[in-house]
Amino acid sequence: MTDTSDAPEQPAAVLFDVDGTLMDTVYLHTVAWWEALRQAGHRIGMTRIHRCIGMGSDHLLETLLGKDRDPTGDDRMSASHDALYGQYWSRLTPLEGAADLLRACAERGWRVVLASSASDTEAEVMLEALDAGDAILAVTSSDDVDASKPAPDLVHQALERAGVPAEHAVFIGDAVWDAQAAHKAGVPFVGLLSGGFSREELEDAGARRVYTSPAELLDRLDDSPLASPPPA
């Protein structure tokens, strides 16, 4: 992690979602949830499950199974998902350009904070796979908040860790749930197509700009909302 004890004050932060934005993990989560739901007796198509990746598990299960479901099975299904997804941990792969994008943002004076719906343990595994800890100021996870995306709690927590107000931050994500969380927190949102949502969906959810991937955003950094932090 970056040591900022002697660093000058930085006026702005870029907040990054992780799954589907920096890590190529969306479809692994889809398969893990499909199997966890199947083991619990629920036949849910992968297309529907994919549309919910990026939500916290509580919102995902409510969306897929309904508010009237018996919630006593939620913890068991979440645990099954975690165990199934954990089988991929040693093979998790960052998206092309992800680590270089984080470093480029830090070099331009942005405070880089990861805001993930994953648990602390999953976030640590992804952080190790990213291998860009030198550029990252802080990491927030679902364990740090009471409500997961699309609630704005993770974004608020990331802003607090960064030490900047919402108007001096930008949120980068791949799902409409990221866009909704950012909007509720008053943070401008930039979308990536690397999680499987379409350009139109991200734009309709409020994305100011949309790029295909971290690599494209890195290549076009000079004319992007991340070209330079806004003045304090």
Summarize pLDDT for 135-174 with one digit per residue, the tens.
Answer: 999 999 888 888 888 899 999 999 999 999 999 999 999 9
The pLDDT of residue 3 is above 70: no
Residues 99, 122: contact at Cβ < 8 Å?
no
Q: What is the pTM of this model?
A: 0.91
Beta-bridge partners for 169: 13
Matching residue, tokens 């990252």: 136
Q: What average pLDDT does this structure show over 84-91?
A: 96
Provide the token pair at 66: 């309904």
What pLDDT, on the 0 to 100 scale, is given for residue 8? 46
What pLDDT, on the 0 to 100 scale, is given for residue 183? 97
Residues 35, 80: contact at Cβ < 8 Å?
yes
Alpha-helix runs per DSSP H in 14-151: 26-39, 46-50, 57-65, 74-86, 98-107, 120-130
What pLDDT, on the 0 to 100 scale, is given for residue 149? 86
What pLDDT, on the 0 to 100 scale, is given for residue 1? 56
What pLDDT, on the 0 to 100 scale, is given for residue 5? 46
Q: What average pLDDT does this structure show over 18-33?
A: 97
Q: What average pLDDT does this structure show over 112-135?
A: 92
Distance (Å, whole) CA 67 – CA 77: 16
Identity of residue 132: A
Higher pLDDT, 6 or 113: 113
- Helices 153-162, 176-185: inter-axial angle, 10-degree rounding: 60
Residues 148, 118: contact at Cβ < 8 Å?
no
The pLDDT of residue 91 is above 70: yes
Q: Which of 178, 174, 23, 173 is nearest to 91 (CA)?
A: 23
